[in-house]
Structure 1
Amino acid sequence: MGQIKVYVRIGQFVYVYIFWSSGGPLSRAIPTKSFSILDRWRIFAASPYLLSRSPGFKMGLKLQSFRNFDAFPRAEEHLLQKTPSGAVVSIIGLIIMATLFVHELKYYLTTYTVHQMSVDVKRGETLPMHINMTFPSLPCEVLSVDAIDMSGKHEVDLHTNIWKLRLTREGHITGTEYLSDLVEKEHSADKHGDSNDHHEDPAKNKNEHGLGSDAETMIKNVKHAMENGEGCRVFGVLDVQRVAGNFHVSVHGLNIFVAQQIFDGAKNVNVSHVIHDLSFGPKYPGIHNPLDGTTRILHDTSGTFKYYIKIVPTEYRYLSQRVMPTNQFSVTEYFVPVRATDRSWPAVYFLYDLSPIIVTIKEERRSFLHFITRLCAVLGGTFALTGMLDRWMYKIIEAVTKSKTGSTLR
């Protein structure tokens, strides 16, 4: 019975197909190493017709077609050429990629904020005012803090705490005084922001220091403090109703006759001041209070400072879903020089009003997919750019080398 053997090599195996005259093919896989040189030659001497009809041959064609999709073909090791210029470009590329990776990682780990606005529906809450100011030219004995709301009534809150620190000419603390002398006063609602509403009639002024010997002693002490260059630092918290109003720091707490004896006229009241901190609630990350660090020093003049403040209610939501209610604000400053005909005393006014819109600031983190996308973009772009630089440098070096070789041969 005749037979025909067909050898087909696929990978490390050689498939042997035996065709009998009475039946179909019978195949078996045998390792290549078990074949002799003659058997290996017979693999390539087999009939093309028989190979094309064998299952192993068709499988080999499919595998070859699949390999054509390889976008990263490999060359033999001896065909690759490594150059010093390529090493330099590779090191620079690795440094750039490492730097960009660290930058993208930091960018992914940091949070960003989203702002949303809505109508403020809060009612019945108080507005905290954090004050920290220094008056370098006025002693603490002559300064008072007053707060008036839109209704015209001076609000006195049991939780309000205001402190005064006596300062030397150099700014060192010499004593502390607690301000508990905030006295309720009635004012018309349409004059709550006017500095002339306190001293039109001397009979309406506060007389907390007395007249007689007590007044003389106080006048003497204040003049002595002013001669020594004593100043005052006022700080604390005022809790007022969430309506428009103002608070001011001035010498309005003095009896008008006592003030006249001390300063000899309003033109000598120097309300130079430094605002260390002025805020309307706790501070959240990234907040900017425009009056922090403000310095206003007067030389050879006097007058009233007015800060018109627009308060915007704010809620800050952390990633942990913790909510911190606070307030932002914008400010416009106005200075009114004192005139000889003025009957009012210089002061520092903060006139505020609230916005009906509340701003919600939410912390959010970037998605991991966004991080991977940016990382692939920067690293892939750097890799492609370094590859282009390597090819350009290689061509330039090769051209220079050939030109030198040609000139040497000549």
Structure 2
Amino acid sequence: MKWSKLGKFSAYARAENHLVQQTVHGAVVTCIGVLVAVILVWTELGIYFKPNQLQTMGVDLTRNELMRITLDMTFPALACPALSLDISDISGEGTSDTSVARNGEIHKWRIDPKGNRIAMGEYIPPKHPGGNMGWVMRRPQDEVNMLNQMVDAHEGCNIVGWIDVQRVAGNFHMSIHADNFMMLRKTQEDLAQAIRDHMYSVDESTGSMQIPTDTTSVNVSHTIRKLAFGAEFPGQVNPLDGFERIVDVESGIFKYFLKVVPTEFQRRNGRHIPANQYAVTEYYSALHKGEMQLPAVWFMYDFSPITVTISEKRRSFLHLLTRLCAVVGGVFAVTGMLDRWVHRLVTWVSKQL
């Protein structure tokens, strides 16, 4: 008897079975509530098992380390023999795609007008004993013919590969060298006319021929399929991946200014992944006829002195339990309130009929 007195403090009063009324609209509300509860519980479980990422910042203390640049770019309007990749940094080191083997690997793939790789279409640059100091008249005729055939077929070029660079400010760019520009057949008539009219001069320092010509016809439209600095970690976003720029009328110089942020990703198992993120700003300078510049695509990169550390953390089980209770209790309370409103509405409509 004395324990029965505690019943008056119960917050869950129960009616007799013959006083309980079950309705069709109550069953519909109950089914909806169960469905919503299952969805929310499943969502909470997914959030719980997905690692939470905690980001902290500090001073970058790395020294004398190399960084790998991974590149995948397509130039649909430039043939591979005319396209070159040049790399340099503020330390004075520089290299090109023809001499990158010692610290990288660069491949040029010929592509058709639809953007597909041509079978057995990797382009391997021929080696010239005299280097690139000569002008077009010194190039072998078969090489000139090969480039002209690629131009006639409207071939493009896909540059794929990687290169290790010093962790200092630097740049790399894709363009055509002046001697390659002279090899294009659409400029051969201009070249011959310039020779006939003596419209050329000779640079005394290099002995190379300087011929005024229109370079705006060099189409440097490009698609950046992938550009990454160092290793990649889960969830990383490279802002230039999938980026495309199309030249409609006159060509020009594209410049991408990149700020590379050193990043360290720490997994829950203790594994550390040294990586890099970057932010980018784009600048475009159109060229006009008569300007003695060649269209190009430049990437200027610099390093931030601040490093970001991303750590994976799993939420506690008590946190999950609290959220599940909130979800189930909230759905139960809302569906109960909704059932009462619907019941009152149905009762009122029945009395009006």
TM over 0.5: yes
Q: Which residue of 2 aligns with 1:162?
A: 106
Q: Matches of 1:167 and 1:401 in 2, distance apart?
A: 75
- Whether contact under 8 Å (2:51, 2:314) holds in the other structure is yes
Q: Is residue 107–residue 123 contact of structure 2 (8 Å, CA) maintained in 1?
A: yes
Distance in 1 between residues matched to 2:148 and 2:124, nearest whole Å: 21
Of 138, 150, 153, which aligns to 2:78? 138
**What is the CA-CA distance between 1:146 and the residue it aligns to?**
1.0
Q: Deviations over 1:148-205 (max 9, x none)?
A: 0012331556231000011222333231134697xxxxxxxxxxxxxxxxxxxxx9x8
CA distance in 1, matches of 2:351, 2:39: 37
Give 2:54's aligned amino acid: V
Conserved? CA contact 1:277–1:292, under 8 Å: yes
Query: What does residue 325 of structure 2 align with?
Result: 376
Q: Please show how residues 9-408 of structure 1 align to structure 2 within 5 Å.
A: 60=1, 62-155=2-95, 158-174=102-118, 175-178=121-124, 206-207=132-133, 211-212=137-138, 214-252=139-177, 254=179, 258=183, 261=188, 265=213, 266-402=215-351, 404=353
Q: Which has the larger radius of gyration?
A: 1
- Code of the residue aligned with 1:327 in structure 2: it is N
Say if 1:223 and 1:262, in contact at 8 Å, map to a contact too: no
- Which amino acid in structure 1 is aligned with residue 110 of structure 2? R
**Which AA in structure 2 matches 1:206?**
N
TM-superposed deviation, 1:326: 1.1
Aligned to 1:268, what secondary structure does the other structure show?
coil
Give SS of 1:237's match: strand
Q: How many residues were matched structurally?
A: 321
Structure 2: stretches of 5+ with no match in the other structure: 192-212
Superposed CA deviations along residues 284-336 of structure 1, whole A, max 9, x for unmatched, are: 22222111112222233122111111111111122222211111111111122
1:339 deviates by: 3.4
Contact 1:130–1:238 (CA<8 Å) still a contact in 2? yes
Structure 1: distance between partners of 2:229 and 2:60: 16
| C-alpha distance after superposition, 1:129-160 (max 9, x if no partner) | 11111111111111111110012331556231
Q: Which has the higher contact order (CA 8 A, sep 6+)?
A: 2
The 8 Å contact of residues 271 and 348 in structure 1, kept in 2 or not, is answered as yes
Would the aligned equivalents of 1:207 and 1:255 in 2 still touch at CA under 8 Å? Answer: no
Provide the rounded CA distance (Å) in 1 between the counterparts of 2:13 and 2:56: 53
SS at match of 1:163: strand
Aligned equivalents of 2:181 and 2:24: distance in 1? Answer: 89
Offset of residue 362 of structure 1: 1.5
Letter in 1 for 2:46: K
Report the AA paired with residue 168 of structure 1. Answer: D
Distance across 1 between alignment mates of 2:289 and 2:345 = 84
Go from structure 1 to structure 2 and tell me whether the alpha carbon gap of 1:169 and 1:310 turns closer, same or farther (over 3 Å shift): same
Looking at structure 1, the residues matched to 79 and 43 of structure 2 have their Cα atoms a distance apart, in angstroms, of 53
Residue by residue over 1:238-267, the C-alpha shift from the partner in whole angstroms, topping out at 9 and shown as x without a partner, is 110000010111112736765764986322
Moved more, 93-102 or 129-138: 93-102
Preserved contact between residue 206 and residue 255 of structure 1 (Cα < 8 Å): no
Indicate the larger mover: 282-291 or 256-265: 256-265
More helix by share: 1
Aligned to 1:276, the other structure's residue is in SS state strand
Structure 2 Cα separation of the partners of residues 262 and 309 of structure 1: 40
Q: How far apart, CA to CA, are the structure 2 residues paired with 1:95 and 1:321?
A: 39
Query: Would you say the 8 A contact 1:251–1:347 is kept in 2?
Result: yes
The one-letter amino acid of 1:136's match is P
Distance in 2 of aligned mates of 1:298 and 1:373: 56
SS in structure 1 of the partner of residue 3 of structure 2:
helix
Q: Displacement of 1:370 after TM fit?
A: 1.6
Percent same amino acid at aligned positions?
42
- TM-score normalized by the length of structure 2: 0.81
8 Å Cα contact 2:136-2:183 kept in structure 1: no
For each residue in 1:102-133, what CA deviation from the matched residue of structure 2 results, as whole angstroms up to 9, or x when unmatched? 22222222222111111110011111111111
Give distance in 1, aligned partners of 2:39 and 2:182.
Answer: 72
Q: 1:67 to 1:230 in 2, by over 3 A?
A: same
Distance 1:303 1:82, change over 3 A: closer
Contact 1:137 1:270 in 2 (8 A): yes
Question: In terms of mean alpha carbon deviation, does 67-76 or 141-150 score higher?
Answer: 67-76
Give the partner amino acid of 2:142: T
